[in-house]
Amino acid sequence: MRIPLFLRSLLFALVMLAMSAASFAQIGVLITIGPPALPVYEQPVCPGEGYLWTPGYWAYADDDYYWVPGTWVMAPEVGLLWTPGYWGWGGNSFIFYDGYWGPHVGFYGGISYGYGYFGRGYEGGRWDGGRFYYNRSVTNVNVTNIHNVYNTTVINNTTVNRVSYNGGDGGINARPGREEEAAARERHIAPVAMQTQHMHSARGDRELRASVNHGKPPVAATPRPGAFKERGVVPAREAGATYNSAARSETSAAARPRTAVHPNDRPPSARPAVRNTGNAKVDQKYQQQQDKLWAKQDQDRQKLQQRQDRDHQRLAQQKADDARLQRVEHQHQQQTQQLEQRHTQQQQKLQNRQEPPHQNQSKPPREKP
């Protein structure tokens, strides 16, 4: 039994209302130019024990990118870590993948946000015995006020750059590893209220818009969420790269939400095009392999959709509150993204195996019995 369409629509509407403006702003908008480079700035001093660092990022609204300053945030639960959001190229536009709290740090696009977030995992601290211990080698902690610290030198083997997005022209070329894929399947908590308020405040500050600050925001980081005018606010030292003021977006009132929550929210997958190498037998073999993979991936999408529909049924039967609906839908979004990333890797792997034969080859390669 499938969940009624009106109830499914209601659940989706609740989630969209709860999502950050950075993602919500993408409804009806195709963002075809990536965000500016990450600005260069210093990390403010940690305001107290239990605060975790959340790096700054570029969000999007009103046909412009705007900077959401990095800030220290109290973890919503003991043991939870922050996975930053990131921009990724979705094939015809840039998509923002929301950050979340979870027991492990997941994939955040390979973006080097700094201060412990160097593209993979988090090196700025760890939980131990119900307390968070800070790594002083990469985080700014006053040991007079906070004593649960340690020093571990971090060897960063990634190329240091200020690129702020994954994929596309000039983006970071990174894919989730096994540990990050496992983290995506864990229980997640959406950004807390203070983080959402912090983002809304940044959106309303004209000086934080890229068209005004040219990639060098006057408030790059704050000691606490929303504290844009308080002592300890840190300005950017410099822009990460020359800002492209020609960045614009194409709008379409009929465009679908760019952040897919369920497999059925994505456009139907097109069948692979027929290849023409000049050898009919080889082309037929290639097409059979493509059709088999397409059918298997379509089956994967249907199975995931059915599993998510069953989750919706349970939520409706249990009369779940909005917070739980939001958590489950966030998990669904992560599942859908993970599935599409795996399918893309499968397609690339198959295409690499299907290298066309040499032009002088008149006969198909002999197959072993």
> Residue 360: inside a domain, yes or no?
no
More confident residue, 104 or 338: 104
List the beta bridge partners of residue 135. 150
- Does 247 share its domain with 282? no
Amino acid at 341: Q
Contact 69, 202 (CB under 8 A): yes
SS3 56: coil
Residues 67 and 196 both lie in one domain: yes
Question: Are 174 and 215 found together in one domain?
Answer: yes
Burial class (CB in 10 A: 0-12, 13-18, 19+), 283: middle
**Residue 43 DSSP one-character state:** P
Range of the domain at 238: 20-251
Strands 64-68 and 86-89: unpaired
pTM of the model: 0.62
Whether 240 and 276 share a structural domain: no
Of 158 and 104, the structure prediction assigns the larger pLDDT to 104
- Please give the share of the chain, as a percent, with pLDDT higher than 90: 43
Number of domains composing the chain: 2
Say yes or no to pLDDT of 223 above 60.
Answer: yes
Q: Please, which residues bridge with residue 189 across strands?
A: 101
- Under the banding of pLDDT at 50, 70 and 90, the label for residue 369 is very low
Asked whether residue 238 falls in the same domain as residue 279, the answer is: no
